[in-house]
Structure 1
Amino acid sequence: MDRALPTILFVDDEKGVLDGLRRSLYGQRNEWNMRFALGGLEALAILEAEAIDVVVTDMRMPGIDGAALLDRVRTLQPETARIVLSGFSEREAIFRTVGPAHQYYVKPCQPQVLVEAIRRALSVRRTLRSPALLALVAGATSIPALPRALTALFAELQSPNGSASEVARIISSDVGLTVNLLKLTNSGFFYIPSAITDVLQAVKMLGFEMLRALTVMAGIFEAFRCCGIDCDVLRQLEQRSLQIGALARKIAEANGLGQAALDQTQCAGMLAHVGSLLLFSNWPDVMAEVRRGLDRSGGGIIAAERDALGATHAELGGVLSYSPLVGQNSGKFKLLSGPADRFG
């Protein structure tokens, strides 16, 4: 095995499926090291013995199923990208894998689709060389929302007079809620043929019942815990992000772009500070020190973040928006809490 190459672990309880993957991915033998595990127990033995860059697992397996396996991967190797490749798509599967899985692909999956998904996952490792940053991005389950937005969303979802337009308005007012909704809607769970970038369309696509269930049972939305975090800074970031999104849309309108491009442009602008929100939610002490350093010496946030973290909030945001995080329609975003020690 070439130690210079990344290692991909494929897990399934059917030998025929693993043999099929060996054959269909033979062309990647000089691009990756490939390991094949017959079931979750064999996969865990491999994970405990060697470093794995990407895990691709079936969902329904005896003993240790895909969701349980990926939960263990998060603990054993938090920087590892986690992909589900399964024909099992019942509602229970969504609830159990929406957290631990970065991406969900439905069998049968074209080999090139899987190859590109793995390549996107590996691109994150090339962009973020710090193990702590890799663990942060690969580990993050969500971008937290501001508490007031989450409270308003819960109230509207539970209201007998709740409306899709009001739910969409509440979600659109908060970057964390927007990221998590679009991430989920564009995942392979829902068989949607094209990427969704409009919040109202996403709400209508999922429906109230599914949103309620996902919010309560799967916990796709969570609130910032303001302990140790300057919530005024978070509110400023949220407001700035909304302003960037609105301005980006106006520029697109002025250039005569179509409706789909307008939605995508506004969405991209709104996510300008998603990397900052990830950093504040997971490493508040480090970000507070970065801000104190800027107050003492001046300078720009980009240089200060690069010195302290080895990467900037813009680079983290780009990785999140393109990374292995969820999605069959496109590379999407999805996140978890990583170690808060110093990043080297």
Structure 2
Amino acid sequence: MHVKIPVSQLEPGMVLAEDVLRPGGALVAARGTVIAKRHAGLFRLHQVASVLVEPTGGRAGQEPEAPLDPLVLEAARDHLRSRFLFAGIKHPALAELFRLCQPRVARAMVRKKTAFPDPPAPLLPADDQDDETGPLPSPEEIAAADPALVSLPDVFARICEVLNSPVSTASDAARVIGMDQSLAAKLLRLVNSAFYGFPTKVDTLSRAVTIVGSRQLTTLALGISVVSLFRDLPPGLVEVKAVWKHSVACGLAASALAGCAACGRDGMERLFVAGLLHDVGRLVLYRNLPRPSGRALWLARRKNMLLCLAERQVFGFDHATLGGVLLSGWRFPENLIRAVRSHHGPGRPAWTVEPAVVHVADLVVNAMRMGSSGEIFVPPLVPEAFATLGVAPGALGEAMARVDEQVESVLAVFLPDDA
């Protein structure tokens, strides 16, 4: 006899006993589909509360994972303690995150045959060992001095207009996005990736707008447009692929948390883009001020400092502040500006959902060591930010599962072709 179970109780390897349909009747997953980690989020996305599965659901021939050596688990615990130096594990969410990360670090140690050492601090030339002489430019001066950040492509400005207009239509969104063939192609690749997991291919922009929504798709187009501005970074600071993997992972974690938090389904694309762009200010610093950026990295690693604090010591501001200035100059929607500018702290007593979600998502992917934009520690969790989400610590495991399941597929959309 087939068994009907809530989506929250699905486990990988279960097999669907009947087609899963959206409330409107559209197919989400076909009968016989073997459940993977992503399916629970996909079903919730389409407002499916429960599904019918085969009673003995299980993947044929699947072997259980070998148990981990207790000595390796202990080594992984020691390694994680060093990375959780500033975060600690007193908060229940951090304790849960530490617990979830321990076996994945242990398996990485076994797989890579390494004690998982942190990357060495960048070497500075002798004339950079002392403090910089003369003032460094302000965030506004940095943004104004970079022609690539000032003279944006016309399609970028038009996307912002559509997104900021309360009367824009689906046809407006498709028309503007279609002006840039490369952008349109990348957007369709994203819509057809594991990010959505649609059962059938979406092959036109008009259909993508109909299925996803005009404002949601336009927001995604905005994120793709910004990524295209940062195809290269100076060598010796960070790896391009590692930076974008961290950014994509943060976007995926943020969108997963959005589905659990107060913003709900409607915030998924918005918070994906906020997570994707949360470190854009750091990329500008690396590209425009590589020597002071190298000093900030050196300080953080040699002095055991959080990188954002080292940035404030070197520049007088951090990457989040610069990111907010950039997005304001580009006329991004205010909720995205706030999410990027305030993901390390709101600068006022109250947190709002957007920066709180990105704050927690950034912490999760740093703990997972999913790529890196330069930070080697797990940032501390602000309890008020986690409380703003209104989720249980178990939501962090769902966010991690989504990142693991989707990051490579979605990264392929954003990673520059020549990287």
**Interval of TM-score (by shorter of Structure 1 and Structure 2):** 0.3 to 0.5
Whose Rg is larger?
Answer: 2
TM-score (norm 1): 0.37
TM-score (norm 2): 0.31
